[in-house]
Amino acid sequence: MKAPLSSSTSSSSGILRRSRLSTYLYTLLAFIVFLAIIHGEYSIANFGRVDPIIPSPVISTTPVKKREKVVVQLPSFAVEESEEGCDIFSGKWVKDELTRPHYDESECPYIQPQLTCRAHGRPDTEYQKWRWQPHGCDIPRFNATLMLESLRGKRMMFVGDSLNRGQYVSMVCLLHRLIPEDKKSMETYNNDALTVFRVKDYNATIEFYWAPFLLESNSDNAVVHRISDRIVRKGSMNKHGRHWKGVDILVFNTYLWWVTGQDMKILKGSFKDVEKEIMQMSTEDAYRMAMKSLLRWVTRNLDRERTRVFFTSMSPTHSKGDWGGEASENCYNQTTPIADSNYWGSDSRKSIMKVIGEEFSKSEFPITFLNITQLSSYRKDAHTSIYKKQWNPLTTEQLANPASYADCIHWCLPGLQDTWNELLFAKLFHPDLI
């Protein structure tokens, strides 16, 4: 019979077993940490890094790191590109009665009465049935489920004038049907300057902030702002900018309010000053000042690893029949797009596009440019025209001449601005597109 192990031998064996067990545990722990690091790299928000933009009119970016969930889903609507790449802003409008519109006007309760054309008597629906087709490739299909999932725990904000508000409402309409009625809400704050659509289960918001010049101005009241003598305060981005901090996706626009037909008035100092020092600048110089201020603010206040910044180019108007119609003709009673691929409306200043290209190409912070001007310039049929809520009672003379009060600035929903959001979606998830 073997002698029993001594206490010292038993103790040594126990220590050896614990040592081996500790080695296994440390190895397992190291492996878990390694997996966590790898997973962390793939979990970086989709809307982080992009590379610097290039000069106007088209500004491009390189791929953004995507979360695992997004990467898995991307192949289902991957873009087929030609060898030369895909300029999604260059193409033509094609009739599409199968997939357009994305929603019905009556289904989306968030559309303002200034944009509900059918409810205000527009007899045709053809303006809803056009799809933008880039040359040589296809736009990724707008995936509302993917968009919502990617907004989980995030804030998306549109900043600018009523045209940007239209794009904001379009985005809400594209997404809201996926959200149960008791899990969504829309509220206004800050004297209606801020509108927030809240998706409760996703802890996400889609917001609009009224700032028609981006800088502080005498038109900052979101309700009473139709002022002919417009004044902009120089270098005053912080008044509005404090509301933009912490946002994950920012979509800016500003153009129409700068085009007054005369030089812009620029305030040096404060609107509270009794004696105001005001200087005058050309539209282009004033706009350049605003772009410099915006880019300076973005660089100083936003985290490029967290926030994606977009800038939407000028939205064209069709107040003159310079597409070949009569000089007195405008968007009223127009039911088809402009077919001339070289058309560029006189109301869209190429000098402003040049300013954007020159200033953005110097930016330290990457900006993605949504060049919607050319493709929108073809859509003389898509404006609200006379089919909207009127701010004031119409006169007898106006009623006798509907073209005299047609709104050739804003766009019916559903309609053109849904395409703007398709392009925004494409650049969010396929930032390599040009």
**Residue 408 CB neighbours (<10 A):** 20
Decide: helix, strand or coil at residue 360. Answer: helix
Q: How far is CA 108 from CA 112, 173, 413, in A?
A: 10, 6, 10
The domain ranges of the chain are 91-225+237-258+283-433
Is the separation of the CB atoms in 16 and 277 below 8 Å? no
Q: CA 164, 170, 176 angle in degrees (round to 5)?
A: 135
Reported as a single tens digit per residue, the pLDDT across 73-114 is 222 223 333 345 689 999 999 999 999 999 999 999 999 999
Give me the helices (H) in 142-259, please.
144-150, 162-175, 238-241
pLDDT mean over 213-224 = 94
Decide: helix, strand or coil at residue 352. Answer: helix
First to last CA, the chain: 85
Q: Is 111 left (phi over 0), alpha (psi -120 to 50) or beta?
A: beta
Q: How far apart are CA 205 and CA 305, in angstroms?
A: 20
Q: Which residue has the tokens 């205000």?
A: 120
Q: Is 121 left (phi over 0), alpha (psi -120 to 50) or beta?
A: left
Reported as a single tens digit per residue, the pLDDT across 191-205 is 899 999 999 999 999
The CA-based dihedral angle spanning residues 69, 108, 78, 378, taken in that order and rounded to the nearest 10 degrees: -150
Q: How far apart are CA 180 and CA 169, in angstroms?
A: 18
Reported as a single tens digit per residue, the pLDDT across 308-363 is 999 999 999 999 889 987 777 999 999 999 999 999 998 899 999 999 999 999 99
Decide: helix, strand or coil at residue 200. Answer: helix
Instruction: Report pTM.
Output: 0.82
Is the separation of the CB atoms in 329 and 33 below 8 Å? no
Per-residue pLDDT, 61 = 34
Instruction: Answer with the residue of higher pLDDT: 74 or 417.
Output: 417
Per-residue pLDDT, 434 = 73
Tokens of 118: 């059918």
Q: How far apart are CA 163 and CA 407, in angstroms?
A: 12
Q: Which residue has the tokens 């933008």?
A: 132
Strand partners, 292: none
Is the separation of the CB atoms in 254 and 240 below 8 Å? no
Helical pair 416-429 and 162-175, crossing angle rounded to 10 deg: 70
Catalytic residue numbers, as ranges: 162, 407, 410
- What is the percent of the chain with per-residue pLDDT over 90, rounded to a whole number? 73
